[in-house]
Structure 1
Amino acid sequence: MRWWKTRYRCRNDECDRATFTDRIREVPARRRTTTRLRTQIGRDIGENARSVAEVAAAAGVSWPTAHAAFVEHAEQVLTAPTPVRVLGIDETRRGKPRWVRDATGRRWVRVDPWDTGFVDISGDQGLLGQVEGRTTAAVTSWLTTQSEAFRNSITHVAIDPAAAYAAAATAVLPNAQVVVDHFHLVKLAGDAVTAVRRRVTFDARGRRGRKQDPEWANRRRLLTSRERLSDKSFARMWNDLIDHDTTGQILTAYIAKEQLRHLLAAARDNADTHEVRARLYAFYTWCADADLPELTRLATTIEAWWPAILAFIDTGITNARTEGLNRLVKQVKRVACGFRNTENSRRRIRFHCTRTQRASIQQFHC
């Protein structure tokens, strides 16, 4: 539908406006598109996660018009974050690394773009906001811009083992306790097993692992938890490494990984304090007796983060919801094909990462 708006001119020389046009509720002044069309464009971009260029082409409007419609639609929905009890912090990459000139213009500096996201783990607000960078200063700047009631309401902060995030949470949030996500700890143990396997293979054969090498053929089983392996598969891995790895270092690292998993499983088993201490002592003793640099480094990391690990065992809080929203963040970045304006990117990402909660709330009110 096309509507020809009539422009009128006032003949009074003292009139300030001089000209004016027709206007109705669906077509306000200085608008060439209807409110209904702009609302539909905003929903197609936000709710359906479609690119602005695709929706603009389908509606027959320009890219700025379609994006402005989405901004209007998003501002009606997105509000300032309300106080939360458990805050999740994690980073996502915002593009490929680039090389740029430094301030003096003499040297090339590698720029690795990252965005840090803040997620409501205990509630249904989804992604609360984003900030550029993954440093202590970046996290501190976002937290200080929030209200004092927001900061005081946070009791726990779930993070991966990142010293920058832990330092910011300790400095800005007076009532918060840092909780380390157990998934990243198990990954560190798996990385230690992989490092031992590669080192043993290179020392024995002078090359990287190949298909005919038993330790390389069992690399997946080494990273799989014991309860997920069948008895036959576990026996095959164990016997192959016993027969071909004379040093026994690979199985030693595998046992250390399983002992760390057994320690973290105390959160699921509701183990008491004495049981937790016994499992921790068994893990430390095994790593110390093994005298492997990879296991020593792993045990040192666990010791450094033990207060946050103990908080996970006591509360069972994880960063799973934050990791799930990271997947949506990456999906929006792929659909948008790279926003150059970081404000537009953050608005789009936050809108998409909270639309599931909004849809359920609207359905409930209906």
Structure 2
Amino acid sequence: MLWALKSLVIDRLSIARIAASLASSWHAVNYAVLDAGQQLLINDPSRFDGVQVIGVDEHCWRHTGHGSHYVTVIIDLTPIRDGTGPSRLLDMVPGRSKKVFKTWLDDQTKAFRDEIKVVAMDGFTGFKTAAAEELPEAVAVIDPFHVVALAGDALDRARQRVQRETLGHRGRSGDPLYRARRTLRTGAGLLTERQHHRLEKVFTSDDHVEVEATWSIYQKIVAAYRNPSRLEGKKQLQEVIASLSRGVPKRLTELVSLGRTFKRRATDILAYFDRPGTSNGPTEAINGRLEHLRGTALGFRNLTNYITRALLDTGGFRPLLHPHLR
């Protein structure tokens, strides 16, 4: 059975492939392998040792059927901060709420909670509140991925609103704003000459001035994170947050809403620049790995099995089963 477990964790073979190699049934192999993985790897309490930086995010574990489709994933980001290895999945719990994350933290040992120094998260207030209550000494950090995503969403909403107001319908292939939708989300420093001309043509119209204003803020946020100097990048983002906190015309509803969020979470957003290596980006990478896992398995119907498979796939167990990977 150790061979089967190694095939699942190291080679990332499907249960069907392993069962075929063993000339056994899928159900028998699935039960035996997952049970072995639970006993030998997942239930080892030492895997929580040394965790100082965690990331928390939601994850959609299935896209069809009834019931909740979301779980909360908790990631160990300590190796990323220390430069010692990749991030790893610590746990996955059903639901996505303050209560879910708070309960998980409360279920851990006091020694574990006392070790946590940083919690990387998105803009969801529930995660922030849960961390503040259970980890009062830890610093909350909203990572660049989610900050840029918030600004990008505001840009998309502004483009869609102006599209409807000026042309009376949703974007179509021949509409200038719709054709520029991907170009608008591209960093200014990465634009090709053709994309520059496309944006110039879009912004020439007075009807699109609100889109241009929102695009300008989006680009300033991207530029702040791309600044090689963390100190300068922090100053740039502080200026953006300050500008959004005062004097934004009410007509720019998307920027008004973004400004409220940034003002409320300014400390958490700016904390990123003081803690190198603290990003929830690796959490998104693990979400991508889990999407691949679901594809390999042709989907999951049982959440308990999915959590076990997810932990075995992205829980950082490969070096334990294959010492040469250390």
Q: Same fold (TM over 0.5)?
A: yes
- 2:71 — aligned with what? 115
SS for the counterpart of 2:72 is strand
Higher mean Cα deviation, 76-85 or 176-185? 76-85
Identity between Structure 1 and Structure 2 (%) = 25
Higher mean Cα deviation, 185-194 or 299-308? 185-194
Structure of higher CA gyration radius: 1
Deviations 1:320-362 (A, max 9, x none): 1111111122222233344444333222111110357526971
2:136 is the alignment partner of 1:136: no
- Using the alignment, how far apart are the partners of 1:282 and 1:157 within structure 2? 27
Change (3 A) 1:64 1:209: closer
User: 1:267-282 counterparts in 2 under 5 A?
Assistant: 268-271=229-232, 277-282=238-243
Which ranges of structure 2 fall in alignment gaps of 5 or more residues?
A: 80-84
SS for the counterpart of 1:88 is strand
- Using the alignment, how far apart are the partners of 1:294 and 1:314 within structure 2? 28
Contact 2:244 2:255 in 1 (8 A): no
Deviation at 1:97, TM superposition (A): 5.2
- Using the alignment, how far apart are the partners of 2:234 and 2:20 within structure 1? 62
SS for the counterpart of 2:41 is coil
2:264 is the alignment partner of 1:304: yes
- Using the alignment, how far apart are the partners of 2:220 and 2:2 within structure 1? 56
2:5 is the alignment partner of 1:39: no
Q: Which has the higher contact order (CA 8 A, sep 6+)?
A: 2
- Using the alignment, how far apart are the partners of 1:122 and 1:112 within structure 2? 30
- Using the alignment, how far apart are the partners of 2:200 and 2:233 within structure 1? 32
Deviation at 1:166, TM superposition (A): 1.0
- 2:82 — aligned with what? none
Deviation at 1:245, TM superposition (A): 3.6
- Using the alignment, how far apart are the partners of 2:161 and 2:236 within structure 1? 34
Change (3 A) 1:119 1:203: same
- Using the alignment, how far apart are the partners of 1:177 and 1:195 within structure 2? 31
User: 1:192-341 counterparts in 2 under 5 A?
Assistant: 192-242=154-204, 244-246=205-207, 248-265=209-226, 268-271=229-232, 277-284=238-245, 288-289=248-249, 291-316=251-276, 317-341=278-302
AA in 2 matched with 1:321: P
AA in 2 matched with 1:323: E
Change (3 A) 1:279 1:205: closer
Contact 1:192 1:294 in 2 (8 A): yes
Change (3 A) 1:338 1:360: closer
Higher mean Cα deviation, 134-143 or 50-59? 50-59
User: 1:18-167 counterparts in 2 under 5 A?
Assistant: 38-70=1-33, 71-78=35-42, 79-80=44-45, 81-96=48-63, 98-99=65-66, 111-123=67-79, 124=85, 126-167=88-129
SS for the counterpart of 1:221 is helix
Contact 1:39 1:73 in 2 (8 A): no
Change (3 A) 1:76 1:98: closer
- 1:28 — aligned with what? none
Deviations 1:231-289 (A, max 9, x none): 553244123321x343511211111212233444568442287665445434545x614
- Using the alignment, how far apart are the partners of 1:202 and 1:187 within structure 2? 23
Deviation at 1:212, TM superposition (A): 2.8
Deviation at 1:44, TM superposition (A): 2.3
Alignment partner for residue 351 of structure 1, among 306, 312, 324? 312
SS for the counterpart of 1:271 is helix
Change (3 A) 1:210 1:274: closer
Deviation at 1:294, TM superposition (A): 1.0
Which structure has greater helix proportion? Answer: 2
- Using the alignment, how far apart are the partners of 1:213 and 1:310 within structure 2? 37
Task: Count the aligned residue pairs.
Answer: 315
AA in 2 matched with 1:67: N
- Using the alignment, how far apart are the partners of 2:248 and 2:132 within structure 1? 31
Higher mean Cα deviation, 197-206 or 63-72? 63-72
- Using the alignment, how far apart are the partners of 1:49 and 1:134 within structure 2? 28
Change (3 A) 1:177 1:284: same
AA in 2 matched with 1:319: N
TM-score normalized by structure 1? 0.77
Contact 2:41 2:317 in 1 (8 A): no
- Using the alignment, how far apart are the partners of 1:188 and 1:234 within structure 2? 23
AA in 2 matched with 1:61: S
- Using the alignment, how far apart are the partners of 1:195 and 1:273 within structure 2? 26
